[in-house]
Amino acid sequence: MKTKHILAATLVACATLNSVAQKFEGLAPTPPMGWNSWNTFACDISEKTVKETADLFIKLGLKDAGYEYVVIDDGWMEMERDPETLLLVPNKVKFPNGIKSVADYVHSKGLKFGIYNCAGIYTCGGYPGTRGFEFIDAKQYAEWGVDFLKFDWCSTGGENGGYAYQQDAKASYTIMSQAIRKAGRPMIFNLCEWGNNNPWEWAAPVGHSWRVSGDIALCWDCELNYGNWASLGFWQIIRKHPDIRKYSGPDHWNDYDMLEVGRGMTAAEDRTHFSMWCMLASPLILGNDISKMNKETLELVTNKELIAVNQDKLGIQGYRFINEDGFELWVKPLSNDEWAFAFVNMTEGDLKISYDWARHYVKDGLVSREINWNNSKFSVRDCIDHKDLGDTSKKFEKTLTRHDIVVLRLAPKK
């Protein structure tokens, strides 16, 4: 009898724990869009950069195109917490007026403000991490007006780092999610755990997106090794976990990392990188210095037709449909029975595409969508050149230069 009581009590306790509200629901019905300081500025960030970026969001039409979050990454703090209050201290030189004043400024432009910290004892840049301070940090962010928290995975243990323990990823991110919830201000919670512990399997109730890899490198397909870690060209990231599309969707996205667009790859490679992030329904977080963006980059990142593919309300991540002879074709089901098709030239030279729609039966088993060409015809629209190309009764033909892409939107014809 006694055992039964204990068992019952345990079950109640577990049920209560399981039903503890975690993330704020509904904050990211489509992939979040914004800018993050890391790829260009690393820890060299300041109030001035944030304010200028917010101004440029308006001036350059980024806000109109859907970009909303201005996020500062690592490097915003002093090296120690305040010894009395134990609160994090904004760097006095970089942020002389504190964080709330920059958040207020970003908000005054109709934008949202994001910040960075880490689940471990230090951030990756060696600043104070949040471990053991989850509730006071979340409260502090809420008071400052933070709308987005990127939460990293450095100094979380492991023998390589010389630690005698290893933090549990699910537990670490869950407690921070609960701390945000307790602090009471809705914040996008962006897990940056690098895909080490399969966050796609457990993080949907905890956060709104999770990184699927280590850091992106500024290249098409390279791997840059730095001893105990490596950064990855964007195709390496795309290929790293081929089977995770089923885990992504409204309010819980696979995050393929911040964009390297406008930072030195060729125009064709930038087009492919940006378009693939749209096909993958990844968050679109710019990582370039937007004050130095050229016309071509600006046109690319504000391309409303590509962004519409990314922001499609069904939130279905695209998949690779064909991979042969230096040619990849990616497909993404869209709302209203529409589809996006992205043809990529993976080769080092020109590639002539001649694609007979009717020869390729398309079926996306994940979402039960198919195209049977015997009884359907679609109009074809080039989302990059902004041109109507007739319909699927004729072949699609185009020569793509090295590493270029074409993204077509197909809409059913009555």
Question: At a CB cut-off of 8 Å and minimum separation 6, what does 290 contact?
Answer: 35, 53, 56, 57, 60, 62, 262
Mark whether 152 is an active-site residue: yes
Minimum separation from the CB atom of position 144 to ligand GLA (A): 19
Round to whole Å and give the CA distance between 145 and 114.
9
Strands 405-412 and 33-36 turn out to be: unpaired
Q: Does 74 bind ligand GLA (CB under 6 A)?
A: yes
Considering only 96-104, 116-124, 163-171, 371-379, which stretch makes contact with ligand GLA by CB under 6 A?
A: 116-124
Reference 128, options 117, 138, 139; nearest CA is: 117
Mark whether 350 is an active-site residue: no
Minimum separation from the CB atom of position 78 to ligand GLA (A): 16
Minimum separation from the CB atom of position 131 to ligand GLA (A): 15
Q: Does 215 bind ligand GLA (CB under 6 A)?
A: yes
For the purposes of burial, counting CB atoms within 10 Å of the CB of 375, is it exposed (0-12), middle (13-18) or buried (19 or more)? exposed
Q: Does 73 bind ligand GLA (CB under 6 A)?
A: yes
Going from the C-alpha of 14 to that of each of 7, 8, 205, 206, the distances in angstroms are 10, 10, 16, 17
Give CA 40 to chain center in angstroms. 17
Nearer to ligand GLA, 151 or 330 (CB): 151
Reference 123, options 168, 81, 71, 92; nearest CA is: 81
CB burial of 299-334 (b: ≥16 within 10 Å; e: otherwise) equals ebbbbebbbbbbbbebbbbbbbbeeeeebbbbbbbb
Nearer to ligand GLA, 172 or 303 (CB): 172
Minimum separation from the CB atom of position 248 to ligand GLA (A): 19
Q: Does 152 bind ligand GLA (CB under 6 A)?
A: yes
Minimum separation from the CB atom of position 58 to ligand GLA (A): 26
Nearer to ligand GLA, 123 or 272 (CB): 123
Q: Does 62 bind ligand GLA (CB under 6 A)?
A: no
Nearer to ligand GLA, 128 or 315 (CB): 128
Q: Does 192 bind ligand GLA (CB under 6 A)?
A: yes
Q: Does 38 bind ligand GLA (CB under 6 A)?
A: yes
- Nearest to ligand GLA by Cβ — which residue? 124
Nearer to ligand GLA, 215 or 328 (CB): 215
Minimum separation from the CB atom of position 231 to ligand GLA (A): 8
Selected binder of ligand GLA within 32, 66, 114, 125 (CB under 6 A): 125
Q: Does 331 bind ligand GLA (CB under 6 A)?
A: no
Nearer to ligand GLA, 73 or 269 (CB): 73
The catalytic residue among 73, 137, 215, 270 is 215
Rule CB under 6 A: which residues touch ligand GLA?
38, 73-74, 116, 123-125, 152, 192, 215
Residues annotated as catalytic (active site), given as ranges: 152, 215
